[in-house]
Amino acid sequence: MDLARVVGSVVSTIKDSQLEGHKLLLIRPVNPSGEFIGSAMIAIDAIGAGTGETVFFVTGKEASFAFLPDNVPADVSIVAIVDQVHESTDRRARSRS
């Protein structure tokens, strides 16, 4: 999972029938400090996020898992709204083996 901020919404009047009823949002990746670090992308919203919120998103095949048992054609899905981010200052907590 990665962090992003919702920067807008996407309206599509003609789309795959499996996307009917699902909200599409424009998200942009951020670092733990909230600074933008990547390009914007379109994500399907699984949890009801809104513009300005920080969210967790998943990519790849796992993006469709949030909608099981439905088979939703998604490469990027929003799976959580982030309330707070606490970054550790302890080097040992940040290192990964």
The predicted structure's pLDDT at residue 97:
46
pLDDT in tens, 58-68: 999 999 998 89
pLDDT in tens, 71-96: 899 999 999 999 999 887 776 655 54
- The DSSP line for the chain is -EEEEEEEEE--SS--GGGTT--EEEEEEB-TTS-B-S--EEEEESS---TT-EEEEEEGGGGGGGGTTS----SEEEEEE-S-------HHHH---
Please give the mean pLDDT across all residues of the chain. Answer: 90
In terms of CATH, what superfamily is 2-94?
A: EutN/Ccml (2.40.50.220)
pTM > 0.75: yes
pLDDT at 52 exceeding the cut of 90: yes
Q: Where are the domains of the chain?
A: 2-94
Per-residue pLDDT, averaged over 26-52, amounts to: 96
